[in-house]
Amino acid sequence: MKYQFNWSVLWSGQSGQWLLSGLILTLELSVLAWLMAVVLGTVAGAFRTAPWKPLRAVATFYVEFFRNVPLLVWMFFWYFGVPPLLPRALQDWVFAHSLEFWAAVCALGVYSGARFSEVLRSGIQSIPRTLIEASVASGLTVAQAYRHVILPIALRLIIPPATSESLNLLKNSSVALTISVAELTFQTRQIETYTAKAIEALTAGTLVYLVLCVTIASIMGWVERRTAIPGLITGGRGESR
């Protein structure tokens, strides 16, 4: 029997509403996890290059621990493993406030942060050591040198790989369906279940992810051009002065 396409399943019934709520949840989850990943990744990436061993050790532990376990396992860990360890009051609160969502934010944020930290570390290590010397020689502390000189340069340098990491994070948010977060992929599966139209449902999901990713990549490209440091090779556009 030939497959009968029926695209109207995407806008009849509740499909449209499901897709929209899935999209919103995917965005909420990704944005929160991204903020967490950037903060954790920046701190850990900076610590890994710090001239003080205990800081490097803490950061190395974080990175190796969290990036070397599958994301799926982290989802289960934060969803099933962590809540019983929490104090009673906090437990009641998370059970009443969509535990699965916050577990997914933590799993995705902490995991992506470990990956982001390595991207930042490679950016920092590409900066000549003499620039730190010049900073501290003018009286800045090492922390101030990182804050005002090293990180502003490194963060600009790593925009292309950080864009890839951000897109990965968005796409990885679909793993949250395994702990029943009703995000975009969860909703396309739901449409499929209700309408028995797998190709249509998955096509809709695919297109939404594609549009989101292309949009993010364009925004990051714009940020890259806006913040380019004169004299460095930027975006294949030659000198942008």
Partner 1 sequence: MAAAIEFRGVNKWFGPLHVLQDVDLTVEAGEVVVVCGPSGSGKSTLIRCVNRLEVIQKGEIVVHGQSITGPRVHLSRLRAEVGMVFQSFNLFPHMTALENVMLAPVKVKGLPGAGAEKIARDLLERVRIPEQADHYPANLSGGQQQRVAIARALAMQPRIMLFDEPTSALDPEMINEVLEVMTDLAREGMTMMVVSHEMGFARRVAHRVVFMDGGQVVEVQPPEAFFAAPTSDRTKDFLSKILSH
Q: Which stretch binds partner 1 (CB under 8 A): 25-33, 90-98, 131-139, 161-169?
A: 131-139
Helix-, strand-, coil-residue percentages of the chain, each rounded to 5 = 80, 0, 20
Token digits of residue 106: 């933590």
Phi, psi angles (nearest 5°) of residue 105: -60, -45
Whether the CB-CB separation of 161 and 117 falls below 8 Å is answered with: no
Number of C-beta neighbours around residue 162 at 10 A: 22
Task: Decide whether 142 or 216 has the Cβ nearer to partner 1.
Answer: 142
Q: Going residue by residue from 177 to 216, which x/- string records binding to partner 1, judged by CB under 8 A? A: ----------------------------------------
Closest CA to 72 of 146, 179, 231, 205: 179
Determine which residue in the list 141, 193, 206, 215 makes contact with partner 1, applying CB under 8 A: 141
- Number of residues binding to partner 1, judged by CB under 8 A: 23
Determine which residue in the list 7, 24, 81, 148 makes contact with partner 1, applying CB under 8 A: 148
Determine which residue in the list 39, 126, 133, 211 makes contact with partner 1, applying CB under 8 A: 133
Determine which residue in the list 135, 166, 173, 190 makes contact with partner 1, applying CB under 8 A: 135
Closest CA to 125 of 159, 148, 162, 154: 154
What is the C-alpha to C-alpha distance for residues 138 and 140, in angstroms, rounded to an integer? Answer: 6
Q: Which residues inside 155-174 make contact with partner 1, applying CB under 8 A?
A: 156
Q: Which residues inside 219-238 make contact with partner 1, applying CB under 8 A?
A: 229-232
Tell me which amino acid residue 190 is. Q
Helix and strand numbers (H, E) in the chain are 11, 0
Whether the CB-CB separation of 184 and 26 falls below 8 Å is answered with: yes
Phi, psi angles (nearest 5°) of residue 14: -95, 0
Whether the CB-CB separation of 48 and 115 falls below 8 Å is answered with: no
Determine which residue in the list 51, 84, 87, 139 makes contact with partner 1, applying CB under 8 A: 139
143 contributes a contact to partner 1 by CB under 8 A: no
149 contributes a contact to partner 1 by CB under 8 A: yes
Determine which residue in the list 27, 36, 136, 223 makes contact with partner 1, applying CB under 8 A: 136
CB of 71 to partner 1, least distance (A): 34
Q: Which residues inside 111-130 make contact with partner 1, applying CB under 8 A?
A: 128, 130
Which run of H or of E encompasses 137? helix 129-137
Q: Which residues inside 14-73 make contact with partner 1, applying CB under 8 A?
A: none
CB of 156 to partner 1, least distance (A): 7
Q: Which residues bind partner 1 (CB under 8 A)?
A: 128, 130-131, 133-141, 144, 148-149, 152-153, 156, 229-232, 241
